[in-house]
Amino acid sequence: MNAVAVSSSSAPSPVTAFPNRQPLLDVRGLSIALPPSADRELAVDALTFTLNPNEILCVVGESGSGKSMTAHAVMGLLPVPSVRVAAGALLFKGNNVLTMSEPEQRALRGGRIAMVFQEPMTALNPLMRVGDQVEESLRIHTDLDRTARKARVIELFAQVGLPNPAELVRSYPFRLSGGQRQRVMIALALACEPDVLIADEPTTALDVTTQKQILDLIRSIQAERQMGVMFITHDFGVVAEIAHRVAVMRHGKLVEIGTADEVLNRPSHPYTRQLIASVPHAMGDRPPFTPSGEPLLLAEGLHKTFHVGGGLFKKGKEVTAGKNISLTIHPGETVGLVGESGSGKSTLGRSVMGLMKPDSGRLLYKGTDLLSLDRRAFRPFRREIQMVFQDPYASLNPRRMVGEIIAQGPIAFGEAPAQAMARASDLLAMVGLDASAAKRFPHEFSGGQRQRISIARALAMGPSLLIADEPVSALDVSVQAQVLALLDDIRHRLNLSMLFITHDLRVASRVCDTIAVMQRGSIVEMGPAAEVFGNPQHPYTQSLIDAIPGRGWEIPADLSHGEGVSA
Amino acid sequence: MAGLPRFLAGRLIKAIVILFAIVVINFLLVHAAPGDPAMVMAGEAGAADPKFVEQLRQQFGLDRPLLEQLATYVSHVATGDLGFSYRQQQSVWDLLLARLPATLVLTLTAFVFALVVGIVLGTLAAVRAGSVSDSAITVLALLAYATPIYWVGLMLMLLFSVQLGWLPAFGYETVGGGLSGFARMIDIGEHLLLPALTLGMFYMAVYARMTRASILEVRDMDFVKTARAKGLSHGAVVVRHVLRNAILPVITVAGVQAGHLIGGSILIETVFAWPGLGRLAFEAVLQRDYQVLLGIFFISSVMVIVFNILTDLIYSLVDPRIDLAR
């Protein structure tokens, strides 16, 4: 059953080796040293691989694996002197980049080797027109005159599929969406027709439908120009979508390298196997949820409109974040609210938490309309409804010890401090942390551990309803799998209801009983998870599911149960 | 820039409202202070008998109820009449207009000096962060920041005028020099150098520190990495990408402080005998010359408002994300 559908549409033929041709990039025994204060000596440890012309090499690894460091070393962008190449060679077409003079390196950078970064929202200079930012690269690397450069920029914008290129060149970045900015970045990288394109997680920050477009674009441009592309990602779905060859890195070392077929369908290294097993996929053995009893939460016809801008002399713009949202959550049910950025999926969660007041509609919690309550009357419900936030680095007070953070809520509601602290220890054990964690500060924990602390903090109040707003989006895939398993386990044990807000359909399919798909403020489709995924009715739901990267690839059967995962 | 006329119209209306409030508050504040011009004048004249004081009061309208005085004053200001200084026997407008150029020359020079030198020093320090020159600039800025400006003024005067004899110690120009045209400008320039330097020093330090901090922050941003990945040289990255972004907070603060400079100039003008508004204010305070004092407050409020509007305009030119029409 292991389909070798390495690439679905517009398929470039998987490239075999070029025995007679020199590799574009030849990385030999590369070691990159970290400053003495870091937790390890080498970010990259004796790394060896090659990148050939006309191939996409995916470099896969979790945060801290050294994959970005390697890319930065190739580009000469390491923050020297604190981080520097300690050993090895980096050959571009046979010449060692590391021993080149600075002007020679600069000629390569942006000229022969170009790079696209992860975060399109911040990768462009906010004060410069996007056309000028691309033209700047042509000015450095080519002899074209001004008119020719301008024409070339417009041509490039058209090639990367930007609308109305002749006008768009004069826009500033803030006018463009994330996907459009990433297209500008790609146009910038392609400006001087480089031999090597390094793409560092170029679609991670994008919505799933935009991600699909950008992946298609990179794939078609690569095939057309026969470039070598080093594509860095943590997402095996993306790998399945785009890679010809795959290199897997862990803690700065290469653990496995091979063709896409080999690595995706017959992974040999345990770490690769663990990563692939962690790729979120629907758990086939989940029993269908049968609602029983009165609904816990009932949202009826919620409307919310934001007024953007405006002032003394001008009317602002109106943005609809919620349009007639109705939804029911039963005791013990996990409802997934799925949608792309700006679809209004956070609006509902924030309304339930009392962080935002909808313009109209009803929000019944155990029969009480939360929207009719003032601050004081709402207070008892704060115990009942708790929230887990997206960013575990920002949602815990850095100056408080973990035990205090967890016990703070119950103490505020009148629990005896000693008792609350004792319960904090129990809760830490429940989320899989050592009781000694209570006496430590948040910065001593990893992202996944902090998210566990956040969950313990929410549970301390003894809630009936947990609102999880993108709780695993900031986490590595293997950690993501663990936190999802924890949430699933806890809600069964405590019979919790959960509103699970996410942009990632794969994640939703893993933990949700019911799925509500949101688009432009409205719920366009809602139903049992298996139905929504198996037989989507609304075209938007279909397009979201089509856009899931790596849909043509099935996780090897021996890894598809998500077991054998350990940190 | 379609929103420009609308923006200016909006700001003008706001400015008028603010000015009205300022005129009223200043008037009340000045009258709340102890001391009465009639008493002071009578005292100076050596004829402090109640009858004479009463006569003076009547002459100046000081015997009327405060609200009535206020209404009269506001209506006069609205028609452009800032009143008459009985001390100087001159209309307040004429007094202000005679002093305004000197103050403008002094404050603008100090401001430009502070801004240019501050940004250049801050940039140098940031680019070589951690080096000896960075430490030197940081220490210099700290000194300029922490030292009282009148003391700096006196020390500079001692060094350059008294010891070295390079520059004149006080005044706006050489009295009785009979200079005209270019020679007169040079002469004014020589007189200007020390007071402007003294006045600008503190602000220079502020801008240098801000520029340095802002550059260090912007330097690590993603788009700077993009610029480097294009193959731009280090200098081009700093000037074209880092500095332009780093300068935004400096512009904001500078715009607010441009108004403060006038306050600072009171001290400096007194130390250097500079015939500007600041010294006029100093004298007016001593003499309880309400009309002049209120006129100076009014003029400096207008200047602060104008500086703020200018700052917003400049900001919108530098930062395309700012939409004036909003």
By C-alpha distance, which of A125, A272, A260, A277 is closest to A188? A125
Residues B162 and B66 grouped into a single domain: no
Query: Structure tokens of B163?
Result: 């010891």
pLDDT at A59: 96
Residues B182 and B231 grouped into a single domain: yes
State how far the alpha carbon of A226 is from the alpha carbons of A16, A158, A195, in Å: 13, 19, 8
Asked whether residue B323 is assigned to any structural domain, the reply reads no
Residues B65 and B160 grouped into a single domain: no
**Cβ of residue A169 closer than 8 Å to a chain B Cβ:** no
A 10 A CB-CB count for B269 gives: 27
**Overall number of domains in chain B:** 2
Contact criterion met (CB < 8 Å) for A312 and B318: no
Residues B58 and B179 grouped into a single domain: no
In three-state secondary structure terms, A333 is coil
Contact criterion met (CB < 8 Å) for A124 and B326: no
A109 vs B231, B318, B326: nearest CB: B231
In angstroms, rounded to a whole number, what is the distance separating the alpha carbons of residues A72 and A70? 5
Q: At the topology level of CATH, where does A297-549 sit?
A: Rossmann fold (3.40.50)
Long-range pairs, A450-454, Cβ under 8 A, ≥24: A450/A392, A450/A393, A450/A396, A451/A388, A451/A392, A451/A475, A451/A479, A451/A483, A452/A483, A452/A486, A453/A392, A453/A396, A453/A402, A453/A405, A453/A406, A453/A428, A454/A388, A454/A389, A454/A392, A454/A395, A454/A396
Q: What is the mean pLDDT of residues A316-323?
A: 76
Asked whether residue B98 is assigned to any structural domain, the reply reads no
Out of A123-132, A389-398, B257-266, least confident range:
B257-266
Domain boundaries, chain A: 22-112+196-279, 122-191, 297-549
Min Cα separation B236/chain A (Å): 11
Asked whether residue B82 is assigned to any structural domain, the reply reads yes
Residues B40 and B81 grouped into a single domain: yes
**Cβ of residue B233 closer than 8 Å to a chain A Cβ:** yes
Residues B188 and B302 grouped into a single domain: yes
Contact criterion met (CB < 8 Å) for B320 and A115: no
Last-in-domain residue among B92, B116, B148: B92
Q: What is the mean pLDDT of residues A536-563?
A: 84
ipTM value: 0.79
State the pLDDT confidence band at A283, using cuts at 50, 70 and 90. low
Asked if residue A421 has pLDDT above 90, the reply is yes
In three-state secondary structure terms, A231 is strand
Residues B124 and B216 grouped into a single domain: yes
Helix axes A146-159, A178-190, angle to 10 degrees: 130
pLDDT 10s digits, A362-413: 999 998 998 888 888 988 898 899 999 888 888 899 999 999 999 999 999 9
**Cβ of residue A312 closer than 8 Å to a chain B Cβ:** yes
Residues B141 and B207 grouped into a single domain: yes
Percent of chain B at pLDDT > 90 equals 21
In angstroms, rounded to a whole number, what is the distance separating the alpha carbons of residues A398 and B84? 62
Asked whether residue B116 is assigned to any structural domain, the reply reads yes
Q: Do domains A22-112+196-279 and A297-549 have the same CATH topology?
A: yes
Residues B56 and B112 grouped into a single domain: no
Asked whether residue B1 is assigned to any structural domain, the reply reads no
Q: What is the mean pLDDT of residues A152-179?
A: 91
Out of A91-100, A131-140, A280-289, B221-230, least confident range:
A280-289
Residues B30 and B163 grouped into a single domain: no
Asked whether residue B162 is assigned to any structural domain, the reply reads yes
State the pLDDT confidence band at A13, using cuts at 50, 70 and 90. very low
B321 neighbourhood in chain A, CB within 8 Å:
126, 172, 174
In angstroms, rounded to a whole number, what is the distance separating the alpha carbons of residues A229 and A391? 31
In angstroms, rounded to a whole number, what is the distance separating the alpha carbons of residues B131 and A234? 39
A77 vs B6, B221, B225: nearest CB: B225
DSSP A14: P
Percent of chain A at pLDDT > 90 equals 54
In three-state secondary structure terms, A187 is helix
Asked whether residue B5 is assigned to any structural domain, the reply reads no
Helix axes B132-146, B181-218, angle to 10 degrees: 120
Query: Structure tokens of A293?
Result: 């009893």
Using H for helix, E for strand and C for coil, what is the string for A52-107?
A: CCCEEEEEECCCCCCHHHHHHHHHCCCCCCCCEEEEEEEEECCEEHHHCCHHHHHH
**Cβ of residue A308 closer than 8 Å to a chain B Cβ:** no
Contact criterion met (CB < 8 Å) for A136 and B228: no
B15 neighbourhood in chain A, CB within 8 Å:
none
Last-in-domain residue among B67, B92, B117: B92
Contact criterion met (CB < 8 Å) for B226 and A117: yes
Is residue B227 within 8 A of residue B245, CB to CB? The reply is no
In angstroms, rounded to a whole number, what is the distance separating the alpha carbons of residues B92 and B102? 16
Q: What is the mean pLDDT of residues A523-528?
A: 92
pLDDT 10s digits, A476-491: 888 888 899 899 889 8
Min Cα separation B299/chain A (Å): 26
For residue B82, what are the domain limits?
A: 14-92
Domain A22-112+196-279 has CATH 3.40.50.300: yes
Contact criterion met (CB < 8 Å) for B229 and A124: no
B320 vs A133, A172, A185: nearest CB: A172
B244 vs A119, A127, A313: nearest CB: A127
Nearest chain B residue to A102 by CA: give it: B233
In angstroms, rounded to a whole number, what is the distance separating the alpha carbons of residues A89 and A419? 60
In angstroms, rounded to a whole number, what is the distance separating the alpha carbons of residues A94 and A24? 8
The CATH number given to whatever domain includes residue B176 is 1.10.3720.10
Query: Structure tokens of A356?
Result: 């935002």
Contact criterion met (CB < 8 Å) for B319 and A122: no
pLDDT 10s digits, B34-84: 667 677 767 766 666 777 778 777 777 777 788 888 888 888 888 888 888
By C-alpha distance, which of A194, A196, A95 is closest to A137? A194
Asked whether residue B301 is assigned to any structural domain, the reply reads yes
Contact criterion met (CB < 8 Å) for B321 and A310: no
Using H for helix, E for strand and C for coil, what is the string for A262-307?
A: HHHHCCCCHHHHHHHHHCCCCCCCCCCCCCCCCCCEEEEEEEEEEE
Asked if residue B4 has pLDDT above 60, the reply is yes
pLDDT 10s digits, A209-228: 888 989 999 999 999 999 99
Which sign, positive or negative, has the C-alpha torsion A162, A167, A169, A172? negative
DSSP A15: P
Residues B253 and B122 grouped into a single domain: yes
Last-in-domain residue among B60, B92, B124: B92
pLDDT at B35: 66
Nearest chain A residue to B321 by CA: give it: A174
Min Cα separation A208/chain B (Å): 23
A122 vs B221, B227, B232: nearest CB: B221
Residues B288 and B246 grouped into a single domain: yes
pLDDT at B223: 94
